[in-house]
Amino acid sequence: MADKTVFFTGGAGFIGMHVVPMLLERGYKVRIFDNMFRGDRDAVGRLVESGDVELIDQDVRYGGAVQQAMKGCSHVIHFAAVSINKSQADPYESMDINMVGNHNVFAAAADQGVERLVFASSASVYGDPEKLPMHEDDRLSPLTPYCISKRAGEDLLGFYQRRAGLSWVALRFFNVYGPGQKTTAYYTSVINHFVNRLRNGEPPVIDGKGEQSMDFIHVHDIARSAVLALESERANVPVNIGTGIDTSIADLARILIDAVGADVEPVFNPRDVLVSRRAADVQRAKEVLGFEHTISVRDGMTDLIRNGG
Ligand SMILES: NC(=O)c1ccc[n+]([C@@H]2O[C@H](COP(=O)([O-])OP(=O)(O)OC[C@H]3O[C@@H](n4cnc5c(N)ncnc54)[C@H](O)[C@@H]3O)[C@@H](O)[C@H]2O)c1
């Protein structure tokens, strides 16, 4: 594997920092391409000292820089993006980074004939699901500039596959949580909110009956899926990465109460809420990648609370 180098945009971010050690373990060298807007400079510095990781402090908006930095790389993982909340606050920036950035990375990968490109897509491409579990062939209805760019990214990969034989996998990550996550994370901020209250001796407050749900998946499993996607025999499809289990907000509150060991009951705030639910159909992940989650929500959350990971 000595000649295998992964060009990894956004590799210094939350999920990236869990993927890089797995890549090194498998004998890859890693070239992180990240503008460090949200990257963890200290953690990257420690990895760079290992000798098999380089950091290119650059921006995916600059196509020339992407082309130049990708030279000599055999594989690409494209994670650089700005988040859903920022995409609503500033659609212009979001289009530049998420749409133009996607294109710069995909076009360079096609030009340079890399063996495989793995793209971080998102479960948010489905919009509000019409049924559970959510299957890859369901109707897509992306609602924000972020989600629209993820869907367009998948379509662009199809273009470069047809035009230049690019081999790709788009991973539709569900609700990722785990050590290293920023407390501002859009969907999973509820975890942080509940935990902060519990640590202050206050009960979690739940709107409505707490029936709204998410498919929480631990970042360690997410990272495994990215490595599997880099090496899978089948490619050129979007693949859901979730547990297949929808955990309601009420269930989450109970799991966190147990994990913190607090002697409280959740408080229900009676009001009408739009109940949205999410759970991935996980069949394709099994068939295409041989992927199944290994960490249950209860174990993952408990570990996060008790050991910081
Ligand atoms: N965390 C989740 O719950 C989740 C869910 C679905 C999809 N995703 C996707 O997975 C990927 C990784 O997510 P994450 O949670 O690690 O995000 P993150 O924000 O922690 O990491 C993104 C990285 O990209 C870098 N970056 C941002 N703009 C850049 C630019 N213009 N040029 C170069 N680098 C840039 C940031 O500095 C950061 O290190 C993203 O594409 C995200 O959209 C995440």
User: What digits encode the pLDDT tens for the residues 30-52?
Assistant: 999 999 999 899 999 999 998 99
**Quick one: CA dihedral 237, 278, 20, 12, positive or negative?**
positive
- Residues with Cβ within 8 Å of 37's Cβ and at least 6 positions away in sequence, in order, are 82
Q: Which residues pair with 6 in a beta bridge?
A: 30, 75
Residue type, 77: I
CB of 44 shorter than 6 A to ligand 1: no
- Residues with Cβ within 8 Å of 233's Cβ and at least 6 positions away in sequence, in order, are none
Q: What pLDDT, on a 0 to 100 scale, did the predictor assign at position 108?
A: 98
- The model's confidence at residue 248, banded by pLDDT at 50, 70 and 90, is very high
Mutation test residue for ligand 1: of 9, 33, 35, the one with most atoms within 8 Å of CB: 35
Q: Which atom of ligand 1 approaches the CA of 171 most closely?
A: 7
Q: What pLDDT, on a 0 to 100 scale, did the predictor assign at position 309?
A: 55
CB of 10 shorter than 6 A to ligand 1: yes
Strands in 174-290 per DSSP E: 175-177, 205-207, 213-214, 216-218, 237-241, 247-248, 267-269
Atom 41 in ligand 1: residue holding the nearest Cα: 79
Q: Are the CB atoms for 188 and 175 separated by under 8 Å?
A: yes
| Sequence spans of domains, the chain | 5-174+218-241, 176-215+244-279+294-307
Mutation test residue for ligand 1: of 34, 59, 186, 217, the one with most atoms within 8 Å of CB: 34
d(CA 20, CA 60): 19
d(CA 59, CA 236): 26
Q: With 80 as the cut, is the pLDDT of residue 185 above it?
A: no
Q: With 90 as the cut, is the pLDDT of residue 137 above it?
A: yes
Q: pLDDT, tens digit, for every residue of 203-225?
A: 999 989 999 999 999 999 999 99
Q: How far is the CA of 98 from the centre of ligand 1 (A)?
A: 10
Q: Are the CB atoms for 229 and 196 separated by under 8 Å?
A: no
Q: With 80 as the cut, is the pLDDT of residue 306 above it?
A: yes
**Higher-confidence position of 87 and 290:** 290
Q: What pLDDT, on a 0 to 100 scale, did the predictor assign at position 273?
A: 79
Q: What pLDDT, on a 0 to 100 scale, did the predictor assign at position 2?
A: 54
Q: What pLDDT, on a 0 to 100 scale, did the predictor assign at position 1?
A: 57
pLDDT (mean) for 105-131: 97
- The model's confidence at residue 274, banded by pLDDT at 50, 70 and 90, is confident
CB of 61 shorter than 6 A to ligand 1: yes
Q: What is the average pLDDT value for the chain, to the nearest integer?
A: 94
d(CA 109, CA 276): 37
The fourth-level CATH superfamily of domain 5-174+218-241 is: NAD(P)-binding Rossmann-like Domain (3.40.50.720)
The fourth-level CATH superfamily of domain 176-215+244-279+294-307 is: UDP-galactose 4-epimerase, domain 1 (3.90.25.10)
Atom 38 in ligand 1: residue holding the nearest Cα: 13
d(CA 266, CA 215): 21
Q: Are the CB atoms for 306 and 242 separated by under 8 Å?
A: no
Strands in 129-278 per DSSP E: 168-173, 175-177, 205-207, 213-214, 216-218, 237-241, 247-248, 267-269
Q: Please, what is the angle between helix 249-260 and helix 297-307, to 10°?
A: 40
Q: How far is the CA of 280 from the centre of ligand 1 (A)?
A: 21
Q: Please, what is the angle between helix 101-112 and helix 63-70, to 10°?
A: 40
**Beta-carbon neighbour count of residue 139 at 10 Å?**
8
CB of 62 shorter than 6 A to ligand 1: no
